[in-house]
Amino acid sequence: MSRTHQEHEEHRDLGDREKAVLDKIRRGLVYTETEASFQAPQRRPDLVFAYNHTPPDQPERRRELLVAALGSVGERTVLLPPFHAGFGSNVHIGDDFFGNVNLTFVDDVDIRIGDGVMIAPSVTLTTTGHPVHPSRRADFGRFSEPIVIEDKVWIGSNVVVLPGVRIGYGSVIGAGSVVSRDIPPMVVAVGVPCRVVRAITDEDLTTRTAAED
């Protein structure tokens, strides 16, 4: 076998191995750091660092860096620095988003955030977990499942959203909650683990108002 042909075969095998690992990740199976090492070029730590150190009087530069750092960014987006992201490229944010300080994206796979979402300080959205048995955590063994946050959701301070969770339209997640399962639309949910405590109704239109009509 010629050297050129051998190199071609090696590149083809590498492509096949990458596809196999990506399929494993998509299925929520355990994969290792070594297996996923080919994804390293998708990480954008320099852009995240630059964003976090850009002065507040340079909003256009911040916007430019955010668009470059994340997978997609909508219009009228506010994300207060610092924020943190494992990749950045797997984060997708809709229009009219507000994210307060110390928002952490563990985005080994997609995190998709809809329009009009508000996130309070020190929230973690993590798509990745690790097996319980220590022998399966060798070489940083892990599994990843995407997170979806639908339109108009409000997430309180110090919330952790775990892999595979979908939070439905308009729902409110109380401060300090750990969200380990899907939350339906238009509810208030709180706790560890996070549970629905009530529906959001028209009566909520009259609460916390400055004056009566």
Task: Please report, for the chain, the start and end positions of each structural domain, with discontinuous segments joined by +.
Answer: 3-203
Q: State the angle between helix axes of 59-69 and 45-52 in degrees (0 to 180), rounded to the nearest 10.
A: 160
Question: Collapsing DSSP states into helix, strand and coil, what is residue 4?
Answer: helix
Q: What is the pLDDT of residue 4?
A: 52
Q: What is the pLDDT of residue 69?
A: 98
Q: What is the pLDDT of residue 207?
A: 80
Residues of the chain above pLDDT 90, percent: 88
Across the chain, mean pLDDT equals 92
Q: What is the pLDDT of residue 212?
A: 47
**Check: CATH 2.160.10.10 for 3-203?**
yes
Q: What gap in Å lies between CA 91 and CA 51, rounded to an integer?
A: 15
User: Where do we find the tokens 């984060």?
Assistant: 91
Q: What is the pLDDT of residue 188?
A: 97
Q: What is the pLDDT of residue 213?
A: 42
Residue type, 171: S
For this structure, is 84 an active site residue? no
Q: What gap in Å lies between CA 171 and CA 176, rounded to an integer?
A: 15
Residues of the chain with pLDDT under 50: 1, 3, 6-7, 10, 210-213
Please state the pTM of the whole predicted model. Answer: 0.89
The catalytic residue among 8, 11, 53, 130 is 130
- pLDDT, tens digit, 9 for 90 and up, residues 126-182: 999 999 999 999 999 999 999 999 999 999 999 999 999 999 999 999 999 999 999
